[in-house]
Amino acid sequence: MIGYISDNLLIPILDFFYGLVPSYGLAIVALTLVIRIALYPLSAGSIRSARRMRIAQPVMQKRQADIKSRYADNPQKQQEELGKVMKEFGSPLAGCLPLLVQMPILFALFATLRGSPFADVPYTVNIKVLPSEQIAAVEPKPFNSASHSIFIGERDHVPVIASLPRGTKIGVGDSADINLHTKDGRPFSDVLKGLENPERFLPSWSVTKGEGVVSISPDGSVTALTPGDATVEAKIPGLAARSGFLFIKALGQVGFYADGAINWDIAILVGGFGVTLFLSQLLSGMGMPANPQQSTANKITPVMITGMFLFFPLPAGVLLYMLIANIFQGLQTFILAKEPLPENLQKILEQQMSQQTVAVTATSGGSAASDARLPFEPKGGK
């Protein structure tokens, strides 16, 4: 499904925007905004549900505990009363459904930006080498990799598959060709004929695991050397992988630290992601009663996630998408935080805010009284 959405929805949108603004960086920004706007109703549902549950949860938990205690000997009545509570406040799981519905599109968008034209596209083939006396008993099962749309022009792309006609099990001393071809069987080398500079799209072949088990030739021919497991990778260069945008040196660049140098463009993108995530979490609590546990999580979570992405191998184009999506999410959260609440939840919120104000006043008043006493005065009075 993810590949289908990418090939038939996201890449055509990408082509459209690249036709309007011949910049892959701007195309990423436009594609991100279009998808986020299209998913606005779904994500808004999740944000509204989270906001309402944050207000209602303390009351719900208290009432549910009371119902379970009161009707401990009457399960039927207990379920009936619990159902009324859910009907009044809604289910805590209601916000999960919109999130689940939009996940395939977001995963497809993520996959699109990790592939051509924004990054080099890898085709990984796991090979098992068997002794020659065992391979004769193995029934050949053709292997086909997932399809990836490879850009060979600014708006010209073809779906390409890697395949092994006789499967991934090879006998010692035997050879097998890994074929790169389109879905209709046309060799990728034929697709490149007629291009102005076809060699820039030629795949590079390497053995990423089990170098002593197999060897690979520049044209993708695998030779089995000794029994064992091996992994072979073909990598097709991305058309825009080395194209820059604003302060980004290359959209396909991966890694905060590489070749002994710091990639400051990656650092800025990851740092921007962390800051916008933190601000989005602050906005989600706007107008809500203080929650010390939530406040601590809001501070720790962005730091942990930012630190993870700082060393996670994501192309700069994907980080650009994540930054733009976070900014959009923050604006959406700010807008939805201004929406009026249902009457029952508004009353609960006002009560919670009032109780919090009284607690703060009592605490500050006690501190002021304490400060007003002379050091030698007892706490009980004069």
Q: What is the pLDDT of residues 40-73, one digit of tens each?
A: 887 777 777 777 777 777 777 777 777 777 777 7
- Tell whether 198 and 232 lie within a shared domain: yes
- Tell whether 223 and 273 lie within a shared domain: no
In a domain? residue 82: yes
- Tell whether 90 and 59 lie within a shared domain: yes
Q: How many Å apart are CA 28 and CA 237, to the nearest integer? A: 19
C-alpha R_g of the chain: 29
Indicate the residue among 113, 135, 156 that finishes a domain.
113
In a domain? residue 367: no
- Tell whether 87 and 9 lie within a shared domain: yes
Using a 10 angstrom Cβ sphere, with 0-12 exposed, 13-18 middle and 19 or more buried, the burial of residue 245 is: buried
In a domain? residue 380: no
- For residue 157, what are the domain limits? 121-236
Task: Provide the phi-psi class of 90: left if phi over 0, else alpha when psi is between -120 and 50, else beta.
Answer: left
In a domain? residue 332: yes
In a domain? residue 363: no
Q: What residues contact residue 154 under an 8 Å CB cut-off, 6+ apart? A: 18, 22, 239
Using a 10 angstrom Cβ sphere, with 0-12 exposed, 13-18 middle and 19 or more buried, the burial of residue 270 is: buried
- Tell whether 21 and 97 lie within a shared domain: yes
> What DSSP character marks residue 7?
I
- Model pLDDT, residue 99: 63
In a domain? residue 349: no
- Tell whether 208 and 282 lie within a shared domain: no
- Model pLDDT, residue 340: 75
- Tell whether 139 and 47 lie within a shared domain: no
- Tell whether 232 and 128 lie within a shared domain: yes
The two three-digit tokens of residue 360, written as one number = 């703060």
Indicate the residue among 94, 113, 132 that finishes a domain.
113
- Model pLDDT, residue 381: 47
Indicate the residue among 58, 89, 113 that finishes a domain.
113
- Model pLDDT, residue 274: 82
Q: Which amino acid is present at 273?
A: F
Summarised one tens digit per residue, pLDDT across range 207-250 is 898 888 888 888 888 888 899 888 999 988 887 777 777 888 77
In a domain? residue 93: yes
- Tell whether 231 and 274 lie within a shared domain: no
**Ordered alpha helix ranges (H), 21-74:** 24-38, 40-70
Q: How many Å apart are CA 300 and CA 293, to the nearest integer? A: 11
Per the CB < 8 A criterion, the answer to whether 223 and 106 are in contact is no
- Tell whether 107 and 129 lie within a shared domain: no
In a domain? residue 370: no
- Tell whether 285 and 304 lie within a shared domain: yes
- Tell whether 102 and 128 lie within a shared domain: no
Count up the domains in the chain and report the number: 3
pTM > 0.75:
no
- Model pLDDT, residue 93: 60
Low-confidence stretches of the chain (pLDDT < 70) are 1-3, 88-99, 101-102, 256-260, 285-295, 297-299, 341, 344-346, 349-350, 352-353, 355-382
| Residue showing tokens 């992601």 | 273
